[in-house]
């Protein structure tokens, strides 16, 4: 067995019901085995399994339904999935919910900085035509200068690709790279678009674990053990969504060495690069990668709180003799979609050359800092929760422990939170982790709101603990 080590390979799933197979497997008590040959599937053990009326019933027709792409059945994006749909139903019925499912700053009262808004407004008359497929030269030069300042080798405007958010660039990069059956090493937990884009571009996700007990840091030995003749790339999300981990330089150096040895592309999702708390620092990957091909991804959605503008960039570095074909592939795919949203491109220079507007939010007294504090304090005060405090990004990924963890199911918990406590959270297994004891909250609400959320979470977990105690076999 070439891959008998603890990592995880996601085999294509082409059969079976859309919901519930993993649930049956768990009920049979062999879930850990299942994880070794983990198959990505939508909403595993999700709402159907716990008999909740969340799925939308299709209207009845005498004609067969339109067929869709088969591999979509392997794709999940529960952050906006069944639970979010149910939340909308409840809102339509007049319920007022606290929705912590999406890292969307604008939905929590954050605004993009005024000087970025002005930059777009000042140029709105110039935004009618398509731009070059890679983006406006001035914007690309601003990105290149920013990456050169942080030590990215060869950072120049023609190595920069602007996209409709990092989301589009993730898809373009994997489409440019993968042939059917090629493998991509992804973190588990991951940001699920990475898994989805790998699958929909005919690749196979192979997961390396980032365990809570290791502060959610990956183990380079495990990553190395998962490399096969089909492996094409290693994805790193740093600082991480959903865990908030920030990767230290020695760890990144070891991962670069693996990529160098096996001639892999490094895909560095650094969209949260400047969102850091306390004394935590961010080490960009490209300066360490040197000649090793590396695509560094960033954008305006998080650090600059402008998700809706759909502005992202990718900076390609590494030995030009090795990156040339990939660069041309990105250029071709970029040309096919013509260009990225033009008004947003005008904000890039202002964002990267202007004042730092994120540190006041992450420093003591700042809104994000205080909410993270509330998260840490709430988890510390709860007998049911354990937290690896986030070093960066916009999320917390607490683990349910103790009696409440017995028989715990993250989907059932998320549903109970929604139905009975008016709070929408994301079950941890939505992020492609085998363990079902985690959930994700965003740090975007104010601190008092998050404290209130954790009061409600504790109420539900206390009930779980009571149920577990009531059903535990009596001591003899
Ligand atoms: N990568 C990560 C890790 C994210 O968390 C997100 C959004 O939440 C994205 C990429 C997509 O960002 P964008 O808005 O630039 O498409």
Residue 139: give its domain's CATH number. Answer: 3.40.640.10
Q: To the nearest whole number, what is the mean pLDDT of the chain?
A: 88
CATH code of the domain covering residue 399: 3.90.1150.10
How remote is the CA of residue 397 from the centroid of ligand 1, in Å?
17
How remote is the CA of residue 170 from the centroid of ligand 1, in Å?
9
Q: Is residue 6 part of a domain?
A: no
pLDDT above 50 (res 163): yes
**What SS3 class is residue 314?**
strand
Query: Do 191 and 105 sit in the same domain of this protein?
Result: no
pLDDT above 70 (res 209): yes
Query: Do 141 and 251 sit in the same domain of this protein?
Result: yes
312 CB near ligand 1 (under 6 Å):
yes
**What SS3 class is residue 396?**
strand
pLDDT tens string 287-336: 999 999 999 999 999 999 999 999 999 999 999 999 999 999 999 999 99
pLDDT tens string 211-257: 999 999 999 999 999 999 999 999 999 999 999 999 999 999 999 99
Query: Do 195 and 122 sit in the same domain of this protein?
Result: yes
Query: Do 154 and 250 sit in the same domain of this protein?
Result: yes
Q: How far is CA 28 from CA 35, 371, 439, in A?
A: 14, 40, 24
CA–CA gap between residue 208 and residue 188 (Å, rounded)? 6
Query: Do 186 and 266 sit in the same domain of this protein?
Result: yes
307 CB near ligand 1 (under 6 Å):
yes
Q: Do residues 158 and 185 touch, judged by C-beta distance below 8 A? A: no
Handedness of CA 225, 215, 98, 301 (dihedral sign): negative
Nearest to 237 by CA among 280, 285, 169: 285
How remote is the CA of residue 305 from the centroid of ligand 1, in Å?
12
Handedness of CA 411, 414, 418, 419 (dihedral sign): positive
Picking from 353, 370, 385, the residue at the C-terminal end of a domain is: 353
CA–CA gap between residue 238 and residue 234 (Å, rounded)? 13
Residue 11, CA atoms < 13 Å, CB-side half-sphere: 9
Those residues with Cβ within 8 angstroms of residue 364's Cβ, 6 or more apart along the chain or in another chain: none
Query: Do 217 and 97 sit in the same domain of this protein?
Result: no
45 CB near ligand 1 (under 6 Å):
no
pLDDT tens string 30-48: 233 233 333 333 333 333 3
Q: Average the pLDDT over 340-367 and give the result.
A: 97
How remote is the CA of residue 166 from the centroid of ligand 1, in Å?
6
How remote is the CA of residue 458 from the centroid of ligand 1, in Å?
30
Tokens of 278: 């306390």
Lowest mean pLDDT among 12-16, 141-145, 339-343, 441-445: 12-16
Query: Do 212 and 311 sit in the same domain of this protein?
Result: yes
Looking at residue 14, what is its pLDDT? 37
How remote is the CA of residue 469 from the centroid of ligand 1, in Å?
41
344 CB near ligand 1 (under 6 Å):
no
Looking at residue 55, what is its pLDDT? 52
Looking at residue 268, what is its pLDDT? 98
pLDDT above 50 (res 49): no
Query: Do 128 and 204 sit in the same domain of this protein?
Result: yes
pLDDT above 70 (res 23): no
Range(s) of the domain holding residue 323? 114-353
pLDDT above 80 (res 403): yes
Looking at residue 342, what is its pLDDT? 98
Looking at residue 186, what is its pLDDT? 98
The number of folded domains in the chain is 2
Instruction: Judge residue 400's burial from the number of C-beta atoms within 10 Å of its C-beta, 0-12 exposed, 13-18 middle, 19 or more buried.
Output: buried
Lowest mean pLDDT among 9-18, 76-85, 376-385: 9-18
CA–CA gap between residue 235 and residue 421 (Å, rounded)? 36
Nearest to 41 by CA among 58, 66, 8, 16: 16
Phi then psi dihedrals of residue 85, to 5 deg: -65, -45
Confidence label for 56 from pLDDT (cuts 50, 70 and 90): low
Phi then psi dihedrals of residue 222, to 5 deg: -65, -40
Contacts 24+ apart (CB under 8 A), 30-33: 31/434, 32/434
- For residue 425, how far is the Cα from the chain centroid? 15
Those residues with Cβ within 8 angstroms of residue 365's Cβ, 6 or more apart along the chain or in another chain: none
Which atom of ligand 1 lies at the shortest distance from residue 240's CA?
A: 3
pLDDT above 60 (res 190): yes
191 CB near ligand 1 (under 6 Å):
yes
Q: Is residue 370 part of a domain?
A: yes
Looking at residue 77, what is its pLDDT? 75
Looking at residue 474, what is its pLDDT? 62
Query: Do 271 and 304 sit in the same domain of this protein?
Result: yes
């Amino acid at each position: 067995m070439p891959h008998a080590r603890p990592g995880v390979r996601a085999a294509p799933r082409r059969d079976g019901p859309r919901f519930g197979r993993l649930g049956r497997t768990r009920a049979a008590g062999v879930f850990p085995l299942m994880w070794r040959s983990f198959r990505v599937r939508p909403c595993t053990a999700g709402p159907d399994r716990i008999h909740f009326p969340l799925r939308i019933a299709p209207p009845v027709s005498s004609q067969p339904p339109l067929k869709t792409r088969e591999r979509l059945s392997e794709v999940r994006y529960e952050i906006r999935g069944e639970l979010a749909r149910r939340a909308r139903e409840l809102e339509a019925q007049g319920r007022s919910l606290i929705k912590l499912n999406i890292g969307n700053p604008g939905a929590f009262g954050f605004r993009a900085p005024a000087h970025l808004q002005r930059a777009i407004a000042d140029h709105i008359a110039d935004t009618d035509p398509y731009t070059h497929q890679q983006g406006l030269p001035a914007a690309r030069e601003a990105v290149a200068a920013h990456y050169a300042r942080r030590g990215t080798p060869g950072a120049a405007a023609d190595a920069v690709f602007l996209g409709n958010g990092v989301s589009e660039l993730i898809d373009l990069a994997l489409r440019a790279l993968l042939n059917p059956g090629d493998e991509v090493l992804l973190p588990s937990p991951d940001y699920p678009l990475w898994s989805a884009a790998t699958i929909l571009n005919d690749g196979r996700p192979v997961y390396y674990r980032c365990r809570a007990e290791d502060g959610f840091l990956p183990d380079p030995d495990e990553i190395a053990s998962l490399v096969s003749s089909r492996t094409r790339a290693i994805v790193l999300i740093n600082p991480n969504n959903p865990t908030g981990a920030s990767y230290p330089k020695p760890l990144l150096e070891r991962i670069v060495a693996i990529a160098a040895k096996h001639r892999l592309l490094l895909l560095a999702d650094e969209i949260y690069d400047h969102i850091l708390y306390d004394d935590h620092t961010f080490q960009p990957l490209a300066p360490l990668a040197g000649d090793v091909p590396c695509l560094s991804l960033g954008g305006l959605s998080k650090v600059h709180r402008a998700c809706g503008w759909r502005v992202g960039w990718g900076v390609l570095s590494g030995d030009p003799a090795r990156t040339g074909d990939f660069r041309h592939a990105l250029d071709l795919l970029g040309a096919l979609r013509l260009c990225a949203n033009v008004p947003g491109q005008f904000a890039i220079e202002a964002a990267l050359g202007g004042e730092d507007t994120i540190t006041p939010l992450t420093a003591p007294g700042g809104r994000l800092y205080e909410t993270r504090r509330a998260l840490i304090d709430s988890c510390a005060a709860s007998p049911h929760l354990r937290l690896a405090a986030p070093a960066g990004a916009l999320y917390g990924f607490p683990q349910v422990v103790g009696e409440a963890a017995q028989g715990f199911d993250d989907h059932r918990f998320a549903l109970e939170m929604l139905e009975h406590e008016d709070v929408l959270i994301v079950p941890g297994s939505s992020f492609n982790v085998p363990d079902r004891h985690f959930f994700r909250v965003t740090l975007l609400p104010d601190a008092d709101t998050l404290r209130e959320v954790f009061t409600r979470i504790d109420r539900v977990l206390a009930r779980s603990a009571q149920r577990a105690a009531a059903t535990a076999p009596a001591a003899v």
